């Protein structure tokens, strides 16, 4: 998935920090941990202190795509990793959206 806006800035910053430290990992302290000490668990603990949940990022992304009024549902689902399911039409074959198509949408809604 292409990164844009603040996400791209943050990812570049992590790469720069890892390179400065000579690390092959972006966040080496979490490279081999699982469970309550994993990076996602730590982030969720931090976010919960702010009364925020990680799934709110996806909801915000979906809200911004809906506000555009012209992004096909299947393309939006391809970006978020969700599927509305339903008919055989939705369950077989590939959607076939390119990274360029996804990038165009993400650039339109970037924060």
105: in domain: yes
Judge whether 31 lies within some domain.
Answer: no
What's the domain count of the chain?
Answer: 1
Encoded tokens for 107: 């650039």
Predicted confidence at residue 37, as pLDDT, reads: 66
Q: pLDDT tens-digit profile of 56-83?
A: 888 889 999 999 999 999 999 999 887 7
Is 79 contained in some domain?
yes
**Per-residue model confidence as pLDDT tens digits over 34-49:** 655 677 777 788 788 8
CA distance 72 to 79: 11
Look up the pTM and report it: 0.66
Q: Which residues contact 64 (CB under 8 A, 6 or more apart)?
A: 109, 111
For residue 11, what are the CA distances in angstroms to 5, 69, 77, 84, 104? 10, 29, 23, 30, 19
CB 52 within 8 A of CB 58: no
In a domain, 27, yes or no: no
Note down the domain range covering 99: 55-111
């Amino acid at each position: 998935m292409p990164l844009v806006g603040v996400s791209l800035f943050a990812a570049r910053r992590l790469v720069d920090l890892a390179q400065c430290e000579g690390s092959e990992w972006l966040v080496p302290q979490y490279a081999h941990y699982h469970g309550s000490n994993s990076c996602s668990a730590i982030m969720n603990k931090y976010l919960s202190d702010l009364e925020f949940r990680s799934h709110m990022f996806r909801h915000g992304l979906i809200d911004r795509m809906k506000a555009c009024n012209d992004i096909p549902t299947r393309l939006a689902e391809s970006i978020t990793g969700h599927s509305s399911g339903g008919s055989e039409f939705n369950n077989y074959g590939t959607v076939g959206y390119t990274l360029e198509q996804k990038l165009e949408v993400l650039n339109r809604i970037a924060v």
